[in-house]
Structure 1
Amino acid sequence: MDSPYSHELQVAIHAVQAAAKISQLVLHSDDKGTVDKEDLSPVTIADFAIQALLTATIHGIFPDDSFVGEESATDLRNNPALLNRVWELLLRLQDDEAKALCKLPRSPDDMCEMIDRCGFGEPGGPESGRVWVFDPIDGTKTFVRREAYAINVALLEGGKQVLSVVGCPTLPADTNGPIDNSTVDCTGLGSIVFAVKRYGTYIRQLVETSGEPVPRKIEPHAASASVADLRAVSCYNMLDSGVDDAHEAIMARLGITTKGCDFLAWVLRWVALGLGLANVTVWVYKKRERTGKIWDHAGAMLLFEELGGKITDIDGKEIDFTAGRLLRKNHGFVAAPACIHDIVLKAVHDVLHEQGKAHLLA
């Protein structure tokens, strides 16, 4: 892809390829060094190592850019044994050809500093300049089960998405869907899905076999869709944060009778939309104060938007990536082809009013 972000794109792709190798070193291990964070979500040694690798690599090439990532190094600083495991995992890349394209932290202390550069980073407002956003492993719960997960790398400029690179080690590059958490790429090659603002969405093999894989451009399937064409992606029976009965009623109102794609990881839901395996998703949180996290959505949303998709919250407001690490100015998500987004949004409002849940709307 020839774009103003060609250099950034190549750096991010190489970093994601190396990050995927780290993840796969851990994926089939029974002991992933898993600890629970304050919000009770799990984090593994792969999460820490990947965030350190991504930050060290991109900071080394773009030293003036800022960073936001899911993890901080607090648990590592408080647990020397865990810190050593993460450091030893990174060192396993030293003799790998992927290391030549990336930069490793210089020491365990430098590793912690790289992690914290993201873990305490804020996206900032419209004047914030260039900010990279990382989710080292989105879908850690399914990763621990050796199922689907994604590595998310996004670049924001002034709070707007300009670049998305998502590594999908379990997702075949030639999949036709529907797909779910248990989908496995039997070839072991995986895929990378990427997009640049105004230049489209593409997919290619994650693992290079003979020469550089040729990316395939995804056709803008959402540009002229009708309600009859809607196919859903959601998360079924794995999260207690959403209003499941409302989601089911909304899909029924829209005439969607099949479950479609099913992913715990939000990034993979955006990937499914970007690949045309689905073209609608709705998420209503049970409580108004619940919010999304920037690393679960930034960049990955661009994959769908580049194909004619429109994404708002359930109030119809644009997603605001300048609000902070949490998307505090938005509640829930409604994604659909732009030409019929208003119809989907109306179905959301009608169902919530009918179910006595209008208090979840602004």
Structure 2
Amino acid sequence: MDSPYAQELRIAIGAVQAAAKISQSVLSDDDKGTVEKDDLSPVTIADFAIQALLTATIQSAFPDDNFVGEESAADLRANPPLLNRVWGLLVGLRDDEAKLCKLPQSPEQMCEMIDKCGFGQPGGPESGRVWVFDPIDGTKTFVQRKAYAINVALLEGGRQVLSVVGCPTLPVNPNGPIDNSTIDPTGQGSIAFAVRGHGTYVRPLLKTSGEVTLRKIEPLPTSSTIADLRAVSCYHMLDSGVDDAHEAIHARLGIPDKGCDFLAWVLRWVTLGLGLANVTVWVYKNRERTGKIWDHAGAMLLFEEIGGRITDIDGKEIDLTAGRKLTGNHGFVAAPKCVHDRVLQTVHDVLHEQGKANLLA
């Protein structure tokens, strides 16, 4: 794919390939060094190592850029055995894997790289270039040896311009439905990527012999109707959503089932971006609940580049400049552009009917 971001794309893909090797080395380990964070979500040694690798690699190539990521190194500094395990993952990369990226030179530099993201802020429209990382989205399923994703996004002035998502468990060309238990029978996995204005593509995650084949995702039909909607959702698996509203919205739209039931938000955006579904709706239980930038930035571009529209449930565009949390928005409504307004109106109708209008602005 020719684009003004060819160098950024090449470096990000190489870093994601090396990151996938780290994740796969941990995936089969019963002890993944899991730590519970203050928000009760888990983090593993793979999360820490991958965030350090991504930051060190991209900073080396683009030293003036800034970074935002999910993790900080506080738990590592407080736990030397855990720190040594994370460092061991980086130095354990084979030479052919390590040449794709730039590695930290010491455990302390590794922690510095992690914290460069962990304390980073996306900034406003004048913030310049900011990379956003989710080293492992779907940590809960990762520890179960199920689906997860490695998310890399580049923002310019708070606007998504590049997305690279590594999906080690998902095939390039799924032959049927995919879910948290899907395993690529070839063992290759896939990378979904997009550049603003240049479309969405998918390729094998692991390079094999011969030329790497890229597949461009076909745009959504401009004649899509409500009858064409296919959902990706995650009901009765998270405590943050209003499941009875979600199910009523599906029923009102005539959507027969939940479709790809992914826990990780990045994988939901990948599912939409690859055309395996074309609608998702998420209403949080209260207005104080918000998304986190690393779960959505970049990955949303995959769907937008094939003709999808994404807003919150109030109809506002998603504001990636608000901070590490998407405090300017509540929930998500994603659908083909030509039916998005109809889906959004259905969300409003159902919430009013269920006495939940307080969840709207």
Alignment correspondent of 1:148 = 147
Q: Which residue of 2 aligns with 1:269?
A: 268
User: 1:176: Cα distance to partner?
Assistant: 4.2
2:245 matches 1:231? no
**Cα shift at 1:265:** 0.2
Cα deviation, residue 222, structure 1: 5.0
Which residue of the partner structure matches residue 133 of structure 1? 132
CA deviation map 1:207-263 (0-9, x unaligned): 111134111000002533111100000113210100000000000000101221110
Q: Which amino acid is the alignment partner of residue 295 of structure 2? A: D
Offset, 1:183 = 0.7
- Within 5 Å, give how 1:114-263 maps onto structure 2: 114-263=113-262
Separation in 2 of the partners of 1:237 and 1:291?
Answer: 18
Task: Compute the TM-score of the two structures, normalised by the length of structure 2.
Answer: 0.99
Q: Per-residue CA shift, 1:28-63, capped at 9, x if unaligned?
A: 100000000000000000000000000000000000
Unaligned runs of 5+ in 1: none
CA–CA distance in 2 between the matches of 1:296 and 1:114? 20
Q: Do the aligned partners of residues 222 and 279 (structure 1) sit closer, same or farther apart at CA in structure 2, a change above 3 Å counting?
A: farther
Where does residue 296 of structure 1 map in the other structure?
A: 295
Deviations 1:151-190 (A, max 9, x none): 0000000000000000000000011442110111111100
Structure 2 partner of 1:35? 35
Give the letter aligned to residue 49 of structure 1.
Answer: A
Q: Which residue of 2 aligns with 1:51?
A: 51
CA–CA distance in structure 1, aligned partners of residues 241 and 29 of structure 2:
31
Partners of 1:15 and 1:170 in 2: CA distance: 17
Give the equivalent residue in structure 1 for 2:22: 22
SS at match of 2:150: strand
Question: What is the alpha-carbon distance in structure 2 between the residues aligned to residue 24 and residue 213 of structure 1?
Answer: 21
User: 2: distance between equivalents of 1:221 and 1:176?
Assistant: 19
Report the Cα distance in structure 2 between the residues aligned to 1:206 and 1:225, rounded to whole angstroms.
31
Alpha carbons of structure 1 residues 88 and 287: separation in structure 2 relative to 1, 3 Å:
same
SS of 2:201's equivalent in the other structure is strand
- CA–CA distance in structure 1, aligned partners of residues 331 and 107 of structure 2: 38
Q: Does the 8 Å contact 1:223/1:309 carry over to 2? A: no
Deviations 1:106-137 (A, max 9, x none): 00000000000000000000000000000000
Tell me, in whole angstroms, the C-alpha distance in 2 between the residues paired with 1:298 and 1:154.
6
Q: How does 1:94-133 map to 2 (within 5 A)?
A: 95-133=94-132
Distance in 1 separating the partners of 2:346 and 2:186: 41
For the residue of structure 2 that corresponds to 1:311, the secondary structure is strand
- Give the deviation of 1:96 after TM superposition: 3.4
Partner of 1:3: 3
Query: 8 Å contact 2:234–2:258 — kept in the other structure?
Result: no
Task: Report if aligned partners of 1:177, 1:261 keep a CA contact under 8 Å in 2.
Answer: no
The amino acid that maps onto 2:293 is: I
CA deviation profile, 1:244-298 (whole Å, cap 9, x unmatched)? 0000000000010122111000000000000111000000000110000000000
Q: After TM superposition, where is structure 1 displaced by more than 6 Å over at least 4 residues in a row?
A: none
1:14: how far off? 0.3
Once residues 319 and 184 of structure 1 are traced to their aligned partners in structure 2, the CA distance between those partners, rounded to angstroms, is 32
Q: 1:222 to 1:22 in 2, by over 3 A?
A: farther
Work out whether residues 136 and 149 of structure 2, in 8 Å CA contact, stay in contact via their aligned partners in 1: yes
Kindly report which structure 2 residues correspond to 1:62-101, keeping only aligned pairs within 5 A, or say none: 62-93=62-93, 95-101=94-100
Paired with 1:35 and 1:312, the residues of 2 have a C-alpha distance of 33
Number of residues paired by the alignment? 361
Amino acid at match of 1:40: L
CA distance in 2, matches of 1:298, 1:225: 26
CA contact (8 A) 1:177 1:277 kept: no
Q: Secondary structure at 1:146's aligned position in 2? A: coil
Q: Which runs of 5+ in 2 are unaligned?
A: none
